[in-house]
Amino acid sequence: MSSLSGKSDEEISQLLDEYGIKHGPILESTRNLYKKKLSEAMTKKAKPSSSNKTYYREEQEEVEYITYQPPQLSIYDGSGDVTRRSKVTGADFAHDIRRSKLTDYRDEDIGYNNEPIISPARSSYQSSSRPGPSVSTSMQRGQSSPETSKSGGVPGWLRVLVFLIIAVFLYYVYTCMEPAEEIPLKSIQ
Amino acid sequence: MSSTSQKHKDFVAEPMGEKSVMALAGIGEVLGRRLEEKGFDKAYVVLGQFLVLKKDEELFREWLKDTCGANTKQQGDCYSCLREWCDSFL
């Protein structure tokens, strides 16, 4: 990185434009100010016009967080969007862990089956019950079940369980609809 | 508009002419002396700097802080004083 003092006025002006710094003419009274602004901008950004890249870097970092511990991020919102997940930063992690434990309780009671994201909730609930290898189990579950690329950890056993619940419920309803059999009618009463 | 001082009202009421730099709102004796040492002995010289910085608030505030050590309030007072003067007379 060349020193700013050796730059001519034109070069300073060009650098200011590259960093997107609004400026006036480079005069004796303004040169020091612009040099200071340029040095600040250089320390903040490695390269000029790299704001887009930093944005992507943040996204990539957050993706790493997602693969590391998928369940908590998705539970926080209750929606399956990647964009929502990308907004959750590492700082929210501690909050998400506590929240996911609380929401897991509720999710199990309600039996909310519309979204597949609940399955990572259950995996985290399971992992929370075992304080020792909680991280490793969640990671293993994330790796063992690569069914959904977005959530990254939908356990197979949970899907089977949900399916069984629905199947039993449907069977119950079906038997109730049969007028010939009296047993289900008695069971209703 | 936030409350402006009497100094501000006096300055923006008329053309600055040959007024001293200490007539600017936010610039007292200490800051005025520092500016004078740097060559900004009249209000119109500071106005010149303000215009050269394209009347940009951030640039002017930073310049003022670097040149005479003005704090945030003083920077804001001086900026709004000059900006309002420019709106009326420039």
8 Å CB contact between A12 and A41: no
Average pLDDT rounded to a whole number, residues B40-62: 95
* pLDDT at residue A177, rounded to an integer: 86
Whether the predicted pLDDT of B58 surpasses 50: yes
**Contacts for A179-188 with beta carbons within 8 Å, 24 or more apart?**
none
B62-79: string of b/e by CB count within 10 Å (b at 16+)? bbbeebbebeeebbbbbb
* pLDDT at residue B3, rounded to an integer: 81
* pLDDT at residue B30, rounded to an integer: 96
Contact flag B54-A23 (C-beta cutoff 8 Å): yes
* pLDDT at residue A166, rounded to an integer: 96
CA A35 to CA A27: how far, in whole Å?
Answer: 11
* pLDDT at residue B78, rounded to an integer: 96
Contact flag A32-B66 (C-beta cutoff 8 Å): yes
∠ CA(A99), CA(A166), CA(A183), 5° rounding? 135
User: Does the CB of B53 have a partner CB in chain A at under 8 Å?
Assistant: yes
CA distance B70 to chain A (A): 15
CA B8 to CA B44: how far, in whole Å?
Answer: 15
Average pLDDT rounded to a whole number, residues B16-36: 95
The single-letter code of the amino acid at A30 is T
Whether the predicted pLDDT of A3 surpasses 90: no
Chain centroid to CA A186:
49
CA distance A29 to chain B (A): 8
Average pLDDT rounded to a whole number, residues A132-158: 57
* pLDDT at residue A9, rounded to an integer: 85
pLDDT digit string (tens) for A59-84? 555 555 555 555 555 445 444 455 54
| Chain B residues within 8 A of A30 when measuring between CB atoms | 49, 52-53, 63
* pLDDT at residue A111, rounded to an integer: 47
